[in-house]
């Protein structure tokens, strides 16, 4: 059996993990993965492994989740979950978003250990290690699953791009930074928070 001695510093295909051929992974195979401290995801049957998050990634995730918790969950409008929490978009796509929001009308999708189906909002905090993956593989997976809104937060540039799904494709509402507040269709109340608060 082939193993690697160090974790990758970018998201990579986990070709070395024993299991089905890449492209054939399912949620059932995912359930058999070892508890080795690595973060695995499956997109269209391909198993990926992501590096451990950095401090700036964690800081931004925590701040974004804090505001979403107040504006969504504490306001009685739904639930907020943070990584590591499994989201089964379909049998061959299982991801662990940094943050997800499920509105009250869709809470039946939420199980104790995972979400079955699309969240109403997904937030990924991009870093040099994950930026391409977040904008390519994950963006396509969220669009296929009809996730209505996708935020990509960049801790390095301290910006957040808001993407909304229109006819199966994401359209950008813009990059927000500094004193500018996000425009969100799912959480319009976020307009009260300057974007810089997510990164301060």
Could you give the number of structural domains in the chain? 2
For position 4, what pLDDT does the model report?
45
For position 5, what pLDDT does the model report?
42
Note down pLDDT in tens along the chain; length 200 residues: 444 445 567 899 999 899 999 999 999 999 999 888 788 999 999 999 988 888 899 999 999 999 999 999 999 999 999 998 999 999 999 999 999 999 999 999 999 889 999 999 999 999 888 899 999 999 999 999 999 999 999 999 999 999 999 999 999 999 999 999 999 999 999 999 999 999 97
Whether 92 maps to a domain, the answer reads yes
Assess contact for 181 and 194: CB atoms under 8 A.
yes
Assess contact for 156 and 56: CB atoms under 8 A.
yes
Q: Which CATH number characterizes residue 135's domain?
A: 3.90.1570.10
Q: List Cα–Cα distances, 171 to 127, 159, 161, in angstroms.
A: 21, 17, 10
For position 63, what pLDDT does the model report?
97
For position 6, what pLDDT does the model report?
52
Whether 127 maps to a domain, the answer reads yes
Assess contact for 197 and 63: CB atoms under 8 A.
yes
pTM of the model: 0.92
Whether 136 maps to a domain, the answer reads yes
String of DSSP letters for 64-127? HHHHHIIIIITTTSEEEEESS-EEEEETTEEE--SEEEEEGGGGGGB-SSEEES--SEEEEEE-
- Are residues 68 and 35 part of one domain? no
- Are residues 144 and 81 part of one domain? yes
For position 40, what pLDDT does the model report?
95
Q: Supply the range of the domain harboring residue 63.
A: 55-198
For position 35, what pLDDT does the model report?
84
């Amino acid at each position: 059996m082939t193993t690697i001695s160090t974790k990758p510093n970018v998201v990579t295909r986990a070709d070395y993990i024993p299991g089905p051929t890449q492209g054939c992974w399912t949620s059932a195979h995912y359930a058999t993965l070892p508890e080795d401290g690595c973060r695995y995801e499956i997109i269209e049957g391909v198993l990926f492994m992501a590096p451990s998050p950095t401090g700036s990634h964690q800081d931004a995730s925590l701040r974004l989740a804090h505001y979403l918790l107040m504006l969504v969950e504490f306001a009685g409008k739904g639930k907020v979950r943070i990584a590591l929490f499994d989201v089964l978009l379909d049998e061959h796509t299982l991801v662990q978003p940094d943050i997800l929001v499920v509105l009250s009308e869709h809470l039946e999708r939420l199980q104790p250990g995972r979400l079955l189906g699309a969240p109403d909002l997904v937030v990924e905090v991009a870093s040099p290690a994950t930026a391409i993956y977040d904008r390519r593989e994950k963006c396509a997976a969220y669009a296929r699953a009809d996730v209505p809104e996708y935020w990509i937060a960049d801790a390095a540039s301290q910006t957040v791009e808001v993407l909304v799904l229109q006819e199966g494709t994401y359209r950008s509402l813009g990059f927000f930074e500094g004193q500018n507040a996000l425009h969100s269709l799912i959480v319009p109340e976020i307009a009260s928070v300057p974007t810089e608060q997510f990164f301060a």
